Each structure stands twice: as C-alpha cells, then as structure tokens.
Chain A
Amino acid sequence: MSVTAAAMIEVSALEKRFGSLQAVADLSFSVQAGEIFGLVGPDGAGKTTTLRMLASVMQPDAGSIVIDGIDVLALPEQAKRHVSYMPQRFGLYEDLTVDENIRFYADLFEMPRQVWRERADAMLAAANMTPFRQRLAGLLSGGMKQKLGLVCSLVHTPRVLLLDEPTTGVDPLSRREFWQILYSLRAEGVAMLISTAYLDEAERCDRLALLNAGRVMYCDTPAGLKARMPGAMLEIIAADPRQLLDFVRTLPGVQGVLLVGIGVHVHVDAPQRLSQIEAALATKGMAVTTIALVEPTIEDLFVALLEQASSMEKT
C-alpha cells in the first residue's frame, strides 16, 4: 500500500515496560487521514497502553509518535488540541448531565460558543440523544454512555480520534449507530485508531494491525489478511459434531478443528483437502449434512497466524 500523503499518525519503535513486563515492544505503524485503523488483539496485547501513549497520558520508554506533523513526545500539550481520546472506562462525569458534560469539554478546548452549540445539537440529534440532554450521565444506558463519550470527544473537531474498545458490551443497535458516526467522520477526513478485542468488529475497519504481546504481528486490510491465511477453511455440519471433531482431527492436512454448535470449522492446509475429507467421512460412515469451503473469520485468521508464528519460533 503506497503512501502518497504524509500519514496523520506515525508511530515508530514504540516501547513501554512496567517493571519486568514488556507491555509494548518495537511497535510501528501509521494511520492516514480518513482511515479507520484497528488495533486488534487479546487482553494484555498492549492496545490500551499504546493508545494511552498516543493520547499523551503515559510516557513511552523509547520510540517516537508524530501526529499531524507534531512530535507528541516533545510537544504533548500542543498535540492534545488536535487529538481526542476515549478511554476504555467511561471517562465522563456521572453526576453531570449530558449537556453539562459537553459544555465542560467544549470549555476545556476553548471552543467558540456558537460553534460547539451547533455541533452538539447536530451530533446529539444524529445519535438519537436529544430527549436525554438533561439526564445525568450516570443514568444513561451503556450504549448511550458510549455515544455521549464520542460526542464529547468530537466537540472540538479533532483531526485524530483514539478509541479504546468503545463498543465492548454495548447493544448491537447502539453499536451500529456508533459505527455510523465513525463512517461519517471518515468521510470528513478524520483519522481514527480504534482498539478492539471483538475480532468480528475488526472486519469493519479499513486496515488492521494484529497485536500480540506488545508487538505488531501483521498489518493489512481485512481482505489482505484473509488472503494471507495459510490453507483454507471448511465448514462441516453434522448431527454429531463431537464425534465428527474427534475423527476429522486425525485426518491428514488438518491443522485445527473448532466445534461450532451445529458442526465444525476445519482449518486445512489446502482447499483440495475438501474432497479428501468428504471421502474419508463417507468411508467412515459418518452422516454429514453439508461440507463446504467458507471464508475464514478474523478470529480464525488470528488463531492460525498465532500458531504459525509460534511454530516458526520453535524451528
């Protein structure tokens, strides 16, 4: 992927350790304007730490961060004016109303009154929150709290948005609305860095960085990553998935089998294995409803790539 314009966020060789734990090691990536970039990885992979360093609430031990041309480590306060951060834990004041919270952040960023009032009106209406403006933030539902967090972070028209697992545990409807807002921001040219442990949410991003143990394992678009997936993915639906799993596991070319309620997902080293496995099942006399090639999910990908990485380490 060639980069013609300078990236909005440029991170290189970032390091952070907590005592003996290396939370982030040699982390490098870049995010363009008008791009939704996903930091994907399990808990403990270093996503939150990375975002905190970008938001200047934590100091890295080494490396550099440049946001919109500003050296964040040298001029953190200046960078903060163009960056908005939404931490994992709800960071607004529960004993203040929606309006009071918005006004507070507008004042902190010294937004002109007319501008922030109009923006707030528009955003709250788009998020279906207008009737709740006088409600205390603590009394909002989980999904609405996250939307409020987003509105507050957008009041000062940042060019960069940092979101730490913003939709975890949020109801799907609110999640959809939340992403609608993100897509419209994308159209406006905002660069967004969003961390998620939901591997299916990763599919919604433009590009992904798969993180594990503080390092970037792979960085590409979702389609690009799936193309990298070694082998292929089969879905076999059968009456007795358990029995199926035990048997299929033993077959040649099978690298992983996963039980999925109604059947199994099989990770094979080549798509040709489908006919082989079908034959093997028929020989064994196992009743099978369907067997077909399916597109791997990001999670399949993640697990496969992790396994590949660890087996490569061992050799």
Chain B
Amino acid sequence: MQNDAQSQIVVDALVKRFGSFAAVDGVSFEVGRGEVMGFIGPNGAGKSTLIRILCGLLRPSAGRALVAGIDVAQDPEGVRRRIGYMSQKFSLYSDMSVVENLRFFGGIYGVSRADIGARLRFAVDMAGLTGREDALVATLAGGWKQRLALGAAILHRPAILFLDEPTSGVDPSSRRRFWELIHTLAQDGVSILVSTHYMDEAEYCHRVALINRGRLIALGTPLELRQHALAGELLAIEGNSLGDVMAQIRQAPGVLDVAMFGSALHALVDQAALRSPELLQLLSSTGRTNVRVHRIEPSLEDSFVHLVSASAAVAGALA
C-alpha cells in the first residue's frame, strides 16, 4: 500500500473530448487513503467517462491523472492491475454460478492459487451468499447481484475501487447494506470513488464532488455543501391552497425564491429567524388558519440547483 501522506487518486485539469463535445471539461480533485468520494450528477454529466479514464479504459484529451502514483495515460495496464472496477451493469455472467463467476474474475485479476480459496469465501460471505454458492446468478435478485459484483471487484485486494452507479435499480435496504460494506472497505484503507445520480447518497460519502456538464461545480463534505452552497436559509410553508399565494410570498421582503414542493412551499430567505414570523403573519392575513412555517435543512438537490444557476449566471455575465 502507498504511504498515508500520498493521495491515492490525483486528477489535474482533466479533459476528454469526443469530437467537439467535451464530456469531461477541466476536472481537478484528489482522493486520499480510506476516503469515500462521491461523484454526484445527472446522467450525461461525465461521471462514467471520468471513471473510465481513471481506470485506463479511455485516454484523456488533456490534463493529467495519477492513480496509485501511476499516470493513466502512460501506463494504463499498470493502473488496471491496482484497481477494482464495478461497472454500471454489474458485468456478471448470468448463466454461471456465484462461485464460477468469482473464480473467473479471480483468474482474470491474477489472484494466486494460495489466496483464491480465502478470497472466495470472503466475497461470498460479504455478499451474504453463504450456502448459495452454486446458484446461477440469473436467479439472484438485484441487491445480491450488486454485492456479488462488489466482491468480484475486490478479490485481488485493490487499494483503489471505482464504482460506477452501483446502486441503480436496487431496493433501499440493499442500498444501505451496500454503503455499509463500502465503509467497511474504506476503514481498511481502500480509496473508493463512487458515482451516482441519487443526490441523497451524498450523505454516505466523506466528500462529495458535484458534476454537471463535465465540470465540477462544487467539492466538499456533504455538510459544507449543504450549508454554504445556498445563499440563504430554507423555510417550509405548509397550509391550504398555497399555489394562490405563491406570487405574494415571492414579493415579500427578504424572500429570494419560492418553489412548490408537494402540497407545501419551500422559500429561500435571507434570515429564517427574521422572516419566519413575517411570513406567518402574511398567511394569516389571507384568512388561512392551518398554517405552519418552519426552518428546514436544504437538501443537496437544492444546493445543486443553486450552484448550477449561479454558474450559469456567471457565465452569462462574462459572455
């Protein structure tokens, strides 16, 4: 393993172009030992492309990326030997059994004969498939396949793990179990880079990078992102027929933005403590009785939307 001081993944101004389209457009970040880094962004943001570059599957157009100290452009093979990769679609062979799949991947990753027995048992145990080693993968439900695929990716004890949308299409309990597994691995010193389009999965990571259109729009801990990304504080307004009063609220002093959310309204204000009673007053004056105004924590999605609009505004101002 590398020494603690050195970051396992270093990315510096990485660019990848397909024709004139920049899928990755100047991305820079670092991931340390035992850190779980989340890459969050919508489909088409460039997450998969980035991971493929870091795995040595695609050549960068510009910039530099070091994985376990190795330059991905110079020695992709060297990189691949040191990493584990779990692709979006699991890549397991559905017509082979659990243990046959593991043996196959063990062979491909060059796990030694002496080691393979123990590693197989570890992977099966981690996936919770003890007793079902001979079951065909096709008969397993989504959550099991996902854990098995993870097991297959770590047979050769890589120091770095790349997981490309590993939790798509998996039930919530399995999803949580999966994240616990990831943290167990991180505890053992493995650096893990996970990409996902589920904003709420940011909470499970040590640090989060928000990606949109090939660019990094924010980088930090989930808490930092939620608290500092928004230019104000969020209030939830509950009551009847709030749609009619939305425009009024938008005009109220200190209100920066109002949006509908279910049957409630979310209002972005400069100071929650100050504006909360003011808005309550405003609503009562419309004759509404059953109203409630309280402060809520902004979600990562709120931050994301704000950051994207902000960067668009800046770009527009510069243009």
Chain A residues with a Cβ under 8 A of chain B:
42-45, 141-143, 168-176, 179-180, 183, 187, 197-200, 203-206, 222, 242, 258-262, 297, 299, 302-303, 306-307
Contacts and interface: CB of A to CB of B under 8 A. Distances in A.
Interface residues of B, number: 44
Interface of B: 36, 41-45, 141-142, 169-174, 176, 179-180, 183, 187, 197-200, 202-206, 212, 221-223, 243, 259-263, 299, 301, 304-305, 308-309
B180 A176 contact: no
B205 A261 contact: yes
B299 A200 contact: yes
B248 to A, nearest CB: 16
A172 B199 contact: yes
Nearest to B165: A169
Contacts of B305: 172-173, 176
Contact of B172 (A172, A261, A299): A299
Contacts of A198: 198
For A171, A206, A258, which residue has the most chain B Cβ atoms within 10 angstroms?
Answer: A171
B172 A199 contact: yes
30 contacts: A43-B169, A44-B142, A141-B44, A142-B42, A143-B42, A168-B197, A171-B308, A172-B199, A172-B301, A173-B308, A180-B259, A183-B243, A183-B260, A198-B198, A199-B200, A200-B199, A200-B301, A203-B261, A204-B261, A204-B262, A206-B262, A260-B204, A261-B202, A261-B203, A261-B206, A299-B172, A299-B200, A302-B172, A303-B173, A303-B176
A142 B43 contact: yes
Contacts of B199: 172, 200
A266 to B, nearest CB: 13
A44 B183 CA distance: 27
Given A42-B171, A176-B259, A242-B187, A261 B42 contact: no
B211 to A, nearest CB: 10
A248 B167 CA distance: 26
Contacts of A199: 172, 200
B262 A222 contact: yes
Contact of A169 (B43, B142, B174, B308): B43
For B44, B170, B263, which residue has the most chain A Cβ atoms within 10 angstroms?
Answer: B263
Given A170-B42, A259-B183, A180 B260 contact: yes
A1 B229 CA distance: 40
Contact of B308 (A43, A172, A187, A242): A172
